Amino acid sequence: MSTTKTIQSALISVFSKEGLEPIVRKLHEQKVTLYSTGGTEDFIKNLGIPVVPVEDITSFPEILGGRVKTLHPKIFGGILNRQDNESDVQQMKEFDIPQIDLVIVDLYPFEKTVASGASETDIIEKIDIGGISLIRAAAKNFKDTVIVASVNEYSLILDLITEQNGATTLENRRLLATKAFHVSSHYDTAIFNYFNTDDTIYKESIADGQVLRYGENPHQKGFFFGDFDAMFQKLHGKELSYNNLLDVDAAVNLIAEFKTDGPTFAILKHNNACGLATRKTISEAYSAALACDPTSAFGGVLISNTTIDLATAQEINKLFCEVVIAPSFDSEAIAVLQEKKNRIILVQNEVELPTRQVRTCLNGLLIQDKNNVTDNKEHLKTVTITAPTEQEVEDLLFASKICKNTKSNTIVFAKNGTLISSGTGQTSRVDALVQAIDKAKAFGFDLNGASMASDAFFPFPDCVELAKKAGITAVIQPGGSIKDELSINYCNENKVAMVFTGTRHFKH
């Protein structure tokens, strides 16, 4: 039997009619018998095209307020029969079951209804029964039946029936079946996640993936699964790479710590801040952030917590950078930043980010709650005789926000609302501290009176001793070591202020 099938009959029952008309007209032109239900039946009739109500096949009306329309052996028999199976052929004749070659159906908008904040009653009513059954049946029988399960496939089916005069190949039908099973599995996942309260069960389905130029390195394939357009309006520049996206993610999470602060600008490289400052104007904040480490800033990702104006854009334009992000840009600023054709310019939208983090690990996944604790004054417990000054408290909290978003082990130095330097991703906290000191000296920063943040406690006093000798006068750390007193005693003897937060901020 030929694997190419010509469509002679179609069942059409959709929630959304957008884009349906040209398909219906083309099927009518090709003398395809159309079956339909409810609103779709009325839609087809209003086009002046004949349509057979499903009730004429089933001899049974829609019942239960439309909950049951197509769930009938004569409908599913017409979809599921195997045309090369003699028993199926005989039963089709015996029970007067019409052949259905094409099924066009979509699903009630369950996810949109949930997102709208609708009542549970309304949400439950948007759990599709007939539609999902039709999709699965037609997709299962793809050898004989064509399934179109989403408006996203309307252009594909229209092209196929137009170019092939109503015929489809086995490859065509298998492709459409694959897309249909994607629709049904995504739908079921959304419903499950609405009901699920068991954190030990994880299901996720993202409908649209984006192919990236490559992964972390050119020999690796890369993909992004997410709604980038919901988060950003891209104004200019080349396509974002895998590494760009990781840096953008780090930048967004970092600047969120300073959302309610004064004008703040951050520069990131390889997911870590290499410059960050808060000032009276965003232009001043950018200049101070850049001065922290102008070497690392080359090719970095830049982000602001407020509008980027012309003065700031003119300064940014002197630097080679991959991405510039802000909640808004002055029109003159955009014109300047667009002078570099590959520079990516993103307007960050107000979007709720996931509350959990997921990453691959061994032969499975690691999932955790997002670190949503930002240290504030109420968290601070002064554990030394010397208390931090008001300015030092501000700098300690400033440094802590950066520390939280920097790879462990890390040490961060800050002074007067400016990142002075940091030691990042070291296997020893002492190494991180030494790295931060050396980096500050290399760029000519005076650490006298600076504040220090650590992402975890000090098991020995060596770190506070090195910090004091470098000029540090205040320290913030979580505390919790059985040897906390060793560091506290050193600070007391040397008039260094130390506060505990009670919260560790490891970032691996």
**Residue 140 known to be catalytic:** yes
Catalytic pick from 26, 186, 270, 379? 270
Please tell me the distance from the alpha carbon of residue 331 to that of residue 290, in angstroms, as a whole number: 23
The H-or-E segment that residue 346 falls in is: strand 344-348
Structure tokens at 243: 């590494």
Dihedral of alpha carbons 93, 98, 102, 104, sign: negative
Structure tokens at 295: 């070497």
Catalytic pick from 140, 143, 179, 236? 140
CB of 503 within 8 A of CB of 478?
A: yes
Please tell me the distance from the alpha carbon of residue 8 to that of residue 27, in angstroms, as a whole number: 9
Residues contacting 115, CB < 8 A, separation 6+: none
Please tell me the distance from the alpha carbon of residue 454 to that of residue 433, in angstroms, as a whole number: 9
Please tell me the distance from the alpha carbon of residue 177 to that of residue 104, in angstroms, as a whole number: 12
Please give the C-alpha separations between residue 318 and each of 200, 336, 339, in angstroms, as whole numbers: 50, 10, 11
Nearest CA to 297 out of 259, 331, 323 is that of 323
CB of 325 within 8 A of CB of 346?
A: yes
**Residue 182 known to be catalytic:** no
Question: Is residue 236 helix, strand or coil?
Answer: strand
- Which residue(s) pair with 277 in the sheet? 265, 418
Catalytic sites, residue numbers? 140, 270
